[in-house]
Amino acid sequence: MMRRSAVVTAVFAVAMVVWYATMRVAFAAHSIVDELDRAKSLADLAPRPQATIVLDRYGRPAFTFFVEQRIYAPLDRMSPRIIEAVLAVEDRRFYSHHGMDPIRIAGAAWRNFRAGRILEGGSTITQQLARASLSSERTYDRKIREILLAAQLEQRYTKAQILEQYLNTVYLGDGYYGVEAASRGYFGKPASNLEPHEAALLAALVRSPSSDAPSAAPARALKRRNLVLRLMRDQGRLSEHVYQDERVAALVTTQSSVESRASGTTSTGDSGLYFQEEIRRQLFALFGADRVLRSGLRVYSTFDPELQQQAEAAVSNRIAEIVKSRRTAQDLQGALVAMDPTTGDVRALVGGRDFNASSFNRATQARRQAGSAFKPIIYAAALERGYSPGTLLRDLDEPIDMGNEAWLPDDGHEAPEYTLRTALKLSSNRGAAQLLQQIGISTAVYYAQRLGIESQLPLVPSLALGTGEVTLLELTAAYTAFANHGSVAAPRVITRVEDSLGTTIYTAAERHTQAISPTTAYLMSSMLSDVISGGTGSAARAAGFKLPAAGKTGTTDNYADAWFVGYTPHLVAGTWFGLDLPAPIMRGGFAGVVAVPAWGRFMRAATAHDKPDWYAMPADVEKVAICRLSGARATEACRHQSDVYAVVHDGSSPQLLPAAAMLDQDQKPLRTLAAGESPVYEDLFPIGAVPADMCPIHNPSSGSFGSTSSSQASDSPAPVPGSSPVATSGTFTTATSDIVLERVLGPDGVMRMIMRQKR
């Protein structure tokens, strides 16, 4: 009896719908042809806007850019579970109707009649797809248009095509359009891997995606999910056993921030936002915003999520430590860039302490004075011009003639003489300034440009102190030449872009420039390794970083900027700390105190699985022991020169003085070794840079000054035991310094050895 009553009710409801439709046609017969024509024009499954998806260096989805966050997926790449779930709750007779389900419509009509208003339309999946082309108003006129359009869709397309379009179009809450985007957004997995309870949750969101979203109402979302599971079981789409297991599954989602989705971007979380913005900026420049946001590009990037998190932690933790010490302003900023020196791939990019507070990228957009972090470029230029790590820089306490005035940089290192190696290790300002004068400012700028510095540099002597403004990215990229045998790798964050059909439309090939020789790169790495081992970058070791590495600190006037750029053979990283409006970071805010600890912690984490390795010495480089007095190859006697004497005259009678206090022609000490200073040092030189002749001071019988005659020997005081025979006359000029050594017979008959700079 009840079954008969239900049938009567259904028939009555259908009759009411037919009557209403007939009346509408009767009153609007003149427009029915127009409606059919309009339906034909709208019945086109045109591509919907698709999100551009960015993959990380391992091929995993990292970021998306979109107008509608949609990632198109063909039907055969969707889990059968999501298809079954949607059909169970939205259109169980999808494969048997022709666009309209009379039974479903009759049921909806009866419920609407009882309510006295339109609560539901009983629409099929085809009708829902058609509705996307119509207005959102709930009227019977729109319903008629919807039915006509659905009929056109069913005539033009297969069921599979309609279902595929629907599953890629339907809105599923929290900014996700289509099951692929929703699956990745809610569960962090493609739609092909959905479990039954996950598929049921997505299907449950179709009816009311905003109010039933798990982020808005988790309890309601769970209830709706279990309803869909029950429908799937009742319709034979799930076994009882699977249903019982799935209905007790926890409601677990992993979602991106609402703020990011609202702005048309998403990421794997709050990490990597500066990196994401740099990719977006480059994509917009290449393809335009509309194509990036709508056409579903597939972008292959160099982004390394693990290194990115380590970089962000290193910067934020160091800022927190400094701020907590109450030695700096609260708005201290930091930046970090990590690159593969062989490819130029940027693996991590931090542009500030908080992207949401400030999207200004201090790694790529801010130009700041580099301080001493710029000095390696000058030293590399000098090595290219024939200098060596062991070349002596003398008279560092003498002002530099600048034409109208003399200039002597302030320097905490007051020694008047350093080798290039020591000057770089101690970051001597005077050493760098004199070296720049010797090689020429234009030469230094030329090599800076070869090393990839694109910023405009000032042609002034203070360039030696890093007064030129550069970005962290370009300075870090310059150091790839030292790490990669002299070849600069241009930085890149994108490697390839494909369109929605998988066709490659852009390729960013590796770009290399052989900026300096492999020998210069090796010598620079040797010198810069001293900075970390015992120089201004030694705090990296205190931070727990143990691998062989090289690098250089940079501190600007008033401690406004703190830099450190360093590298291993496999990773180059640069850090910067400062305030956006230049001001002292903190009292005593040297880079070795501010920046190096952050670099050391990052590198410790980033290279945790790397094995220790270093560069092999080139075949054209040798290690040579040099006498500090002559600048020539040292003899064994050089190491004991306190026992070696030279003949001098004080104006009244001959005297024997230690060779360490050699006098010039004016009887003034030319060079004097400091207390405890070794008379010999060892360093690396290109083969041939140091003549084979041994030190003439401590080995005068080597032939540089000829042979000794008995008459001359008899006129000279008796040799001190252990000393070398006295040569007669001659000159000697070393490769490392313009020093002239002479034996001169004075008018008083006394033979003198003098040492002077070549004029």
C-alpha 537: how far from its chain's center? 21
Count of alpha carbons within 13 Å of 139, Cβ hemisphere only? Answer: 8
Average of pLDDT values for 711-731?
32
In the chain, where the domains are located = 2-42+73-259, 336-606, 621-757
90 noted as active-site residue: yes
pLDDT of residue 458: 95
469 noted as active-site residue: no
Distances (CA, A) of 498 to 134, 298, 502, 503: 33, 5, 5, 5
User: What is the CB neighbour count within 10 angstroms for residue 372?
Assistant: 24
Cα dihedral sign for 149, 154, 158, 164? Answer: positive
Asked if residues 222 and 251 have their Cβ atoms less than 8 Å apart, the reply is yes
pLDDT of residue 391: 92
Sole residue written with tokens 């003498």: 398
Averaging pLDDT over each range in 21-30, 157-166, 340-349, which range is the top one? 340-349
pLDDT in tens, 565-587: 999 999 999 999 999 999 999 99
Q: Which is catalytic among the residues 90, 146, 164, 312?
A: 90
Of 399, 685, 368, the closest CA to residue 522 belongs to: 685
Minimum mean pLDDT range among 6-10, 191-195, 318-322, 339-343 = 6-10
Residue 449 or 139, more confident = 449
Of 28, 26, 231, 9, the closest CA to residue 109 belongs to: 9
Distances (CA, A) of 703 to 623, 696, 708, 726: 24, 9, 10, 11
Burial class (CB in 10 A: 0-12, 13-18, 19+), 429: buried
| H/E segment holding residue 446 | helix 441-450
Of 584, 596, 571, 530, the closest CA to residue 376 belongs to: 530
Cα dihedral sign for 446, 452, 453, 454? Answer: positive
Contacts of 588 (CB under 8 A, 6+ apart): 559
Residue 729 confidence class, pLDDT cut points 50, 70, 90: very low
| H/E segment holding residue 182 | helix 179-187
Burial class (CB in 10 A: 0-12, 13-18, 19+), 286: middle
pLDDT of residue 753: 52
Could you tell me where the DSSP H helices lie in 96-178? Answer: 102-115, 125-131, 140-156, 159-169
Identity of the residue numbered 429: N
Average of pLDDT values for 620-635?
87
Contacts of 241 (CB under 8 A, 6+ apart): none
Could you tell me where the DSSP H helices lie in 45-101? Answer: 80-90
Residue 602: φ, ψ to 5°? -60, -50
Residue 60 confidence class, pLDDT cut points 50, 70, 90: very high
Structure tokens at 529: 């390794």
Query: CATH second-level architecture of 2-42+73-259?
Result: Orthogonal Bundle (1.10)
pLDDT of residue 695: 81
Structure tokens at 618: 């080139």
Q: Give the chain's mean pLDDT.
A: 82
Residue 742 confidence class, pLDDT cut points 50, 70, 90: low
Return the HEC string of 471-493: CHHHHHHHCHHHHCCCEEECCEC
Contacts of 714 (CB under 8 A, 6+ apart): none
Q: Which is catalytic among the residues 79, 260, 372, 525?
A: 372
Asked if residues 246 and 195 have their Cβ atoms less than 8 Å apart, the reply is yes
> For residues 432, 435, 436 and 442, what is the CA-based torsion angle, rounded to 10 degrees?
-140
Q: Given the DSSP bridges, would you call strands 561-567 and 572-578 parallel, antiparallel or unpaired? A: antiparallel
Contacts of 165 (CB under 8 A, 6+ apart): 45, 129, 157
Of 503, 479, 614, 607, the closest CA to residue 549 belongs to: 614
pLDDT of residue 455: 96
Taking the domain 336-606, which CATH number applies? 3.40.710.10
User: What is the CB neighbour count within 10 angstroms for residue 278?
Assistant: 23
Of 653, 682, 646, the closest CA to residue 755 belongs to: 646
- CA–CA distance, 47 with 192 (Å, rounded to integer): 21
Q: Which residues of 177-191 are buried (b: 16+ CB within 10 A; e: fewer)?
A: bbbbbbbbbbbbebb
pLDDT of residue 400: 85
pLDDT of residue 280: 95
Average of pLDDT values for 177-182?
92
Cα angle for residues 426, 416, 419 (degrees, 5° grid): 50
